[in-house]
Amino acid sequence: MKDKIYTYFDVLNQHSIISATNLKGEIKYVNDQFCDISKYEESELIGAPHSIVNSGYHNRAYFKDLWRTIGRGKVWQGNILNKAKDGSNYWVATTIVPIIEESKVKEYFSIRIEKTEEMKLEEEKTLHENRFTQLFNHISEGVVTLKKFGHKFIITDFNRGAEKLDHKNSAEVIGKDVLEVFPGTETSGFYDYIEEAYQKGYAQYPILKYQDENSDVWRKGEFYKLPNEEIVCVYHDITEEIIQLEQLKKYNEKLEEIAFKASHEVRAPVASILGLMQLLDLSDLSENNQQVLEHMKSSVEKLDQTIRDIVKVSYDTEEGKALFSKLSDLKNHFQNL
């Protein structure tokens, strides 16, 4: 039996970083692997406190929990960042086993596996995830991710942009069927685009009006299918733009009406006046009356040209405003004659 134990220990010794400490935490034994990774000589480690390789990365509570656990005779497992003699750091997956004799803990036996590269990759992954989360939550567009389960699309994420646009809290909607959260999805046509994205990998929907009991809005956006089968919807609200467009449309209709009236109801009599003035024989009039008539003719011609310009400009521009102002000035001029 002892031979088997020694064989097992020999195998463990070849592939693991091993140490033994007394109850005070002073090192009693280290194997070659421990010396290699810590860059200390065995003579420098024996009798030294195990804190000789403490990197300072972990807080006091972390090690307090460790010592409390092994002090009670229980096994502790976790990842520890240590510091080598040359100042370099290394991660080890650590298992500390209390050695118990006569119901009392006599010493501690530690087995470690280096995982520096794995921890670096994990840190990079965490960093990328944090960057994505910040981007996900700080863009103004709404972003919703969906996962298909059976015949349902379940909401798996809901960014702050979506919370603001739809006045819903992410905690309330994540895990629910999209039709439950947005009951107007199917009738408004959005559901067809979700299905299209799921089948084809991408779908861009045109301007759509979403309606339910609580909402009446206009939306535009795109659906993407991720490698993990999730559907991402990126959208923005264009309700204000649609309202402004409708107002502009009504305004243009009113301008067209004004232009039509200016052309047919105002310009026609002006044209008649100009025609009649051409028939007048100025030689029969006194010099004063001739001047007044010439002044009237000039004013009517200006009025005629202004009406032509108003008909031409049928939308709200600085030029249009100037023309309306010009028309008002001409009107006041005729009233003062």
User: What residues contact residue 192 under an 8 Å CB cut-off, 6+ apart?
Assistant: none
Q: Which residues pair with 153 in a beta bridge?
A: 148
Query: At which residue do the structure tokens 């999209």 appear?
Result: 178
- Statement: residue 160 has pLDDT above 70: yes
* Amino acid code (one letter) for 161: G
Q: What is the arithmetic mean of pLDDT over 150-171?
A: 91
Distance CA 217, CA 211 (A): 7
Name which of 60-69, 296-305, 310-319 the model is least confident about.
310-319
- Contacts by residues 181-187 (CB-CB < 8 Å, ≥ 24 positions apart): 181/155, 182/210, 182/212, 183/212, 183/213, 184/210, 184/211, 184/212, 184/215, 185/210, 187/211
**Residue among 94, 51, 52, 54 at smallest CA distance from 75:** 94
pLDDT band at 244; cut points 50, 70, 90: confident
Provide, rounded to the nearest whole percent, the portion of the chain with pLDDT above 90: 43
Q: What is the arithmetic mean of pLDDT over 253-272?
A: 64
Provide, for the chain, the percentages of residues in helix, strand and coil under a 3-state DSSP scheme, each rounded to the nearest 5: 55, 25, 20
Whether 45 contacts 34, CB under 8 Å: yes
pLDDT digit string (tens) for 61-99?
999 999 999 999 999 999 999 999 999 999 999 999 999
pTM: 0.46
Of 121-125, 270-274, 279-283, which one has max mean pLDDT?
A: 121-125
pLDDT digit string (tens) for 196-225?
999 999 998 878 889 888 889 998 889 999
